[in-house]
Amino acid sequence: MQQFIMSICTTAMPIVLGYIVWLLKNQKKDRDSNSKGTMLLLRVQLIEYHDRYVALKHIPSYALDNFIEMYEAYHDLGGNGMVTEMYKEVLELEIRK
């Protein structure tokens, strides 16, 4: 009986482990896609904030707080480049309450 159970375990173990690896790869792919989508949405919003408030030459404090939080999340997700320059420009704007 023990021999039978051992042979089943020996046969089933690679199949189970293969399935677990397949599941983990799919989850990683989904996470990567979600992160990229989130980063793109943040970039769109950051550009909109930048364009709006640079044109006004000032920014409300609540909008600046939102902009900074969005930028930090965007940066944590791997975003960089032109948005970093926009971030610096927004930080130089006059802050109004």
Could you read off the pLDDT of 31-88 as tens digits, one per residue?
A: 778 888 999 999 999 999 999 999 999 999 999 999 999 999 999 998 878 899 999 9
CA-to-CA dists, residue 13 to 16, 18, 79, angstroms: 5, 8, 41
- The type of residue at 70 is M
Asked if residue 56 lies in contact with residue 95, where contact means CB atoms within 8 angstroms, the answer is: no
Q: Return the pLDDT at 33.
A: 82
Reduced DSSP (H G I as helix, E B as strand, rest coil) percent helix, strand, coil of the chain, to 5: 85, 5, 10
Print the domain residue range for 91.
Answer: 1-95
- The type of residue at 30 is D
Total tally of structural domains belonging to the chain = 1
Q: Return the pLDDT at 40.
A: 92
What is the spatial distance between Cα 94 and Cα 90, in angstroms, rounded to a whole number?
Answer: 9
